Amino acid sequence: MAEPGTKGKVGIVGSGLVGKSWAMIFAGAGYEVVVYDIIPSQVSDALTSIQSQLTDLKKSGMLRGTLSPEEQFSLIKGCSNLQEAVTDAVYVQECVPEKLDLKAQVFKDIEQFVNDDTIMASSTSCITPSEFTGELKRRSQCLVAHPVNPPYYAPLVEVVPSEWTDPSFVERARKILEDVGQVPVCMKKELPGFVLNRVQYAIINECWRLVTSGVISAEDIDKVMWAGLGMRYAFIGPLEVMHLNAEGMENYIERYGPTIEQVSSTFGPNPSYSGAGLREVVQQLNSRSPLDQLEERRKWRDTRLAALAKLKQEQDKL
Ligand code: NAI
């Protein structure tokens, strides 16, 4: 790895859940990171939290990169003005709340201080880049880099350009994100929901239809994912599953294409997420995972996610 801090500066704007994760990811790869938040106490809280998270990650064997927790933490600075955070940055990652007007204003503010080659990336989960970059002078430098929660363990980043994003910025963003150990996928054009949520919503729609039409319980449909499809999807995607489950994709389609078309024709319209169907699903979920035990259940989930990330890391070394 290059000398710590020599890869360039990354500005993180917004130091909440996602901003903190990005700061750790960039510092783990040796970037100099400057974190800014509109609330100064958020920055100091974020630094305290990052310091203890880095120590815990080391203890659990999940710390990224080759630098010690102390070396990584020394690469992260906090600041209380935007200019200081983004001036001379090679890459800026915006992580402010999911509000269109706020994103538009923050990008307008950021663009005053960055260089001609600074990549300006937004963490937005569902706002397309053209919605908040259209009015900017530096709109060709802007794109979305949407992480998956928790970004430290789930490395996918959806890189989404608008029609005016310079393709060379997309390519450079991809290289930087790969360099920090994420797994970027680049969309060729923007679409609502990007890609992850479009796929996720297609799955949710069918799960919802099956439960609300009385075909299966909510508990059992979730098992279909974690005990079935999810097992292989943790390592290979659905298209490669098809390719491997026959003598290649063409052979798979010869064998199963007509069945896919026939079953798909019985899916029905998009379900309604209200009324009796909603009440039924809510009741099943609440009795299985009571609302006053969600925090416990989240911890259970995150421990397993971390263990899976570790396993994948070890497998990748084989
Ligand atoms: P958060 O609410 O935890 O943090 C947002 C931070 O931005 C706060 O510390 C707030 O003080 C700060 N902030 C507000 N206005 C600001 C401004 N004008 N300048 C600088 N800082 C400002 O939010 P979170 O969860 O970190 O989300 C940030 C972005 O990441 C959102 O767009 C969200 O959709 C996206 N995202 C969130 C994920 C999640 O699971 N939480 C996953 C993937 C993306």
Atom from ligand 1 closest to the CA of residue 20: 26
Ligand 1: distance of its center to the CA of 48 in Å? 18
What six digits make up the tokens of 62? 């999940």
pLDDT in tens, 245-262: 999 999 999 999 999 999
Beta-bridge partners for 145: 159
What six digits make up the tokens of 278? 């909603």
- Degrees to nearest 5, angle at CA 179 with 112 and 153: 100
pLDDT in tens, 83-136: 999 999 999 999 999 999 999 999 999 999 999 999 999 999 999 999 999 999
User: Helix or strand or coil: residue 82?
Assistant: helix
Ligand 1: distance of its center to the CA of 260 in Å? 40
Ligand 1: which residue has its CA nearest to atom 44? 125
Beta-bridge partners for 33: 10, 76
- Which long-range contacts does 231-237 make (Cβ < 8 Å, 24+ apart)? 234/308, 234/312, 235/312, 235/315
pLDDT value for 1? 67
What six digits make up the tokens of 198? 């479009």
CA 127 – CA 15 distance, rounded (Å):
19
What six digits make up the tokens of 95? 């992580």
Cβ of 298 closer than 6 Å to ligand 1, yes or no, is no
Cβ of 95 closer than 6 Å to ligand 1, yes or no, is yes
Ligand 1: distance of its center to the CA of 217 in Å? 35
Instruction: Of 255, 118, 120, 126, give the one whose Cα is nearest residue 190.
Output: 126
Say which amino acid occupies 218: A
Testing ligand 1's pocket by substitution, the residue of 20, 25, 37 carrying the most ligand atoms inside 8 A of its CB is 37
- 3-state DSSP percent of the chain in helix, strand and coil, to 5: 55, 10, 35
Q: What is the pTM of this model?
A: 0.94
Testing ligand 1's pocket by substitution, the residue of 36, 43, 95, 302 carrying the most ligand atoms inside 8 A of its CB is 95
Cβ of 165 closer than 6 Å to ligand 1, yes or no, is no
Instruction: Of 7, 4, 12, give the one whose Cα is nearest residue 86.
Output: 12
- For the complex shown, is ipTM > 0.85? yes
Cβ of 44 closer than 6 Å to ligand 1, yes or no, is no
Atom from ligand 1 closest to the CA of residue 18: 26
Ligand 1: which residue has its CA nearest to atom 25? 17
Cβ of 251 closer than 6 Å to ligand 1, yes or no, is no
* Regions of the chain short of the pLDDT cut 50: none
Ligand 1: distance of its center to the CA of 99 in Å? 9
Cis, peptide link before residue 150, omega less than 30° from 0: yes
CA 144 – CA 140 distance, rounded (Å):
12
Cβ of 16 closer than 6 Å to ligand 1, yes or no, is yes
Ligand 1: which residue has its CA nearest to atom 10? 14
What six digits make up the tokens of 235? 């390592």
What six digits make up the tokens of 175? 């290289």
Q: Look up tokens 């990171």; give the residue.
A: 33
